[in-house]
Amino acid sequence: MPIGQIVGGEYGEVLIRQKSGRTIEIGDLLAIDDLILQVLDLEYGSLLEKNDIERMSGMELEGYEETALMEEEIRNYIYAKAKPLVRIKDGAPRIPKILPPFFGNLERVNKEDFEFLDDPQDSLYLGKVRSGSQVLEVPIHINGKEALSHHILIPATTGRGKSNLVKVMLWNLIPKGYAGLLIIDPHDEYYGRNEKGAKDHPEAGKNIEYYSTDPPSGGYHLRINLSILRPWDLRGIVDITEAQNQALYVYYGKYGKNWLENLLTSSLEEADSHGVRETTLSALKRKLRLAFDISVKNEEVRPNGNIFVNKGSEALVRDIAKSIEDGKKVILDTSSLPEDKELLIAGIITDRIFKNYKSYKEKGELEDKPTAAIVIEEAPRVLGERAGRNVFHQIAREGRKFRVGLIAITQLSSMIPREILANMNTKIILGNEMKSERDAIIGSAAQDLSKDSKNIASLDKGEAIVSSIFTKFAVPIKIDLFEDLVEDERGSKKKLEFFG
């Protein structure tokens, strides 16, 4: 029994009459011949004149005799508008360029309709195919090594499942050596210090590193030794003028790795002798003291907090970069840091990773390296127009050439410049209530989603559309609930123990 029949429309918007007694939902996937269509909108249809409909309704509402309609299921119905999503030709997915036959009968898709999907190399599991709110037992994988280096955007309104998705991706990536991950975690939600998290993975011990200002046993201290800072680390992170920037380089040129200390204790006379003006020097000193939380007493530089220190942790940035290159997943718990310090530290480490990868490319060693991906929450903080040029911008623009990518999470895609959005070649679009946000996402998607606005608005928690240059069509998926994944892992471990 078909669920509906094609009665009109045009390419990109096929009109389907729903069979009475059956229900078509927005987002449903319907199959006809070698085509799969996706429902984008629903509407009422009727063979009756508008006046007649309103008169009949009035009579019934106002208590006149009931107006029984002959053959009601024929006269009144529901229209679904659907777009051809994918055509399967010779076992492979293609962009559909045809219309399905007029009066053609449609059925809901089933598992067998997706036999054309294959498991790519270096695969990354994202979720299962979803038809409306129904989940099919069809896993969706993309080539993770490629997709990660071409950036992934995860846009959604709050509470729709962005963090859950990152947890799921991280979990699946832990055993895979093809990608190293740097996760900047301002909510301390990924490691699972007090709840389930990455630490519960059987391979967490060798593949997860956890840095925190207050690390549990097995974790590392997150702190930066001031001596490793270089003037360029501050670019786009500390707000400085051109003159101040020049002054940084003057001191760096003169004092090398001791530039910061010398600048902070510099006398006006000395500054003057380097051509640095008094106002520049004092403003710069103030900004640097504030940025790194340091004070200067009796010509001595003293860290006030426990993040920027002058003893120990000299190798932290180098170690983290090395771990990423070994395909490990490094989580930075920045939950106790103010935002500017979080971004400063994230910027310094990311910059080191990016520089290393650039040098590998120059030396022709990139082939052997895993993709390095950086997970950043509230991405407009670093990618927004106002953030200025920084290493994240740079990676968004040219990271893929060096196999360094971003996983950018945001509620506000519209705050990210269009060209950067367009560079994010995989978008895992979760529910979004705001039209302006949906427009920004749709306008930069890898597939034509111009008619999917309602579809995106109607996405429930964990429901997503994957639009990617690495998928032949925009795939509707349901993402697993992270806690279920962890349970499954435990279950299978128990089974193994049982069977011996």
Ligand X SMILES: Nc1ncnc2c1ncn2[C@@H]1O[C@H](COP(=O)(O)OP(=O)(O)OP(=O)(O)O)[C@@H](O)[C@H]1O
Q: Is 414 in the site for Mg ion (CB under 5 A)?
A: no
Scanning 11-19, 23-31, 39-47, 154-162 for contacts with ligand X by CB under 6 A, the matching segment is 154-162
Q: Is 159 in the site for ligand X (CB under 6 A)?
A: yes
- Binding partner of 8, given Mg ion, ligand X, none, CB within 5-8 angstroms per partner class: none
Q: Which residues of 225-248 are buried (b: 16+ CB within 10 A; e: fewer)?
A: bbebbbbbbbbbbbebeeebbebb
Number of other CB atoms surrounding residue 219 within 10 Å: 18
CB 176, CB 144: distance < 8 Å = yes
CA angle, 122 then 124 then 130, to 5°: 140
Q: Which residue is at the shortest CB distance from ligand X?
A: 462
Q: Is 158 in the site for ligand X (CB under 6 A)?
A: yes
Q: Which two tokens stand for residue 366?
A: 């990139």
- Binding partner of 82, given Mg ion, ligand X, none, CB within 5-8 angstroms per partner class: none
Scanning 24-32, 155-163, 173-181, 400-408 for contacts with ligand X by CB under 6 A, the matching segment is 155-163
Total binding residues for ligand X by CB under 6 A? 13
Q: Is 163 in the site for Mg ion (CB under 5 A)?
A: yes
Shortest Cβ 442–ligand X spacing (Å): 19
- Binding partner of 481, given Mg ion, ligand X, none, CB within 5-8 angstroms per partner class: ligand X
CB 354, CB 149: distance < 8 Å = no
Q: Is 144 in the site for ligand X (CB under 6 A)?
A: no
Q: Toward ligand X, which CB reaches closer, 387 or 459?
A: 459
- Binding partner of 159, given ligand X, Mg ion, none, CB within 5-8 angstroms per partner class: ligand X
Binding residue for ligand X, selected from 130, 141, 162, 403, defined by CB under 6 A = 162
Q: Is 283 in the site for ligand X (CB under 6 A)?
A: no
Q: Is 479 in the site for ligand X (CB under 6 A)?
A: yes
Scanning 161-169, 172-180, 308-316, 433-441 for contacts with ligand X by CB under 6 A, the matching segment is 161-169
Q: Is 156 in the site for ligand X (CB under 6 A)?
A: yes
Cβ-based neighbours of 216, under 8 Å, separated by 6 or more: 193, 210
Scanning 14-22, 42-50, 129-137, 159-167 for contacts with ligand X by CB under 6 A, the matching segment is 159-167
Shortest Cβ 407–ligand X spacing (Å): 13
- Binding partner of 461, given ligand X, Mg ion, none, CB within 5-8 angstroms per partner class: ligand X
Q: Toward ligand X, which CB reaches closer, 105 or 157?
A: 157
Scanning 151-159, 169-177, 268-276, 393-401 for contacts with ligand X by CB under 6 A, the matching segment is 151-159
Q: Is 434 in the site for ligand X (CB under 6 A)?
A: no
Q: Toward ligand X, which CB reaches closer, 161 or 327?
A: 161
Q: Which residues bind Mg ion (CB under 5 A)?
A: 162-163
Q: Which residues bind ligand X (CB under 6 A)?
A: 156, 158-164, 411, 461-462, 479, 481
